[in-house]
Amino acid sequence: AQSVTQLDSQVPVFEEAPVELRCNYSSSVSVYLFWYVQYPNQGLQLLLKYLSGSTLVKGINGFEAEFNKSQTSFHLRKPSVHISDTAEYFCAVDGGSQGNLIFGKGTKLSVKP
């Protein structure tokens, strides 16, 4: 069965610093991977997704993620964060034949001035 592990529950970072949010997955089949962002009191918004092709995926708000099959990872990166990036970020894997997304526990990114 597929599973997702987000290694850091909280990541504090200063404004304009780079950030990496880590995600590892477990799957025995081809994977489709996603990152979602949840701002306070809002629903989840799709940041980016990997379905196939180039392993470097660019998303909205300057975020990108790299799919690494050998490391079973899909880490999210941004070279320079803003205060407005403060939110919770969720990595997810497509549940395959079940047709549902399996989410990690989330990483709270806190950007300080």
**Which residues contact another protein by CB under 8 A?**
32, 34, 36, 42-46, 49, 51, 90, 92, 94-96, 98-106
- Strands 10-14 and 107-112, by their bridges, are parallel
CB of 104 to another protein, least distance (A): 7
The residue assigned the tokens 């995926």 is 57
CB of 72 to another protein, least distance (A): 18
**Which of 13/101 has CB closer to another protein?**
101
CB of 100 to another protein, least distance (A): 5
Instruction: State which residue, 85 or 94, has the beta carbon closest to another protein.
Output: 94
φ/ψ bin of 69: left (φ > 0), alpha (ψ from -120 to 50), beta (otherwise): alpha
How does DSSP classify residue 52?
S
The per-residue DSSP string of 64-93 comes to EEEEETTTTEEEEEESS--GGG-EEEEEEE
- The smaller minimum CB distance to another protein, of residues 10 and 98, is found at 98
37 versus 111: smaller Cβ distance to another protein? 37
Which residue type is seen at 27? S
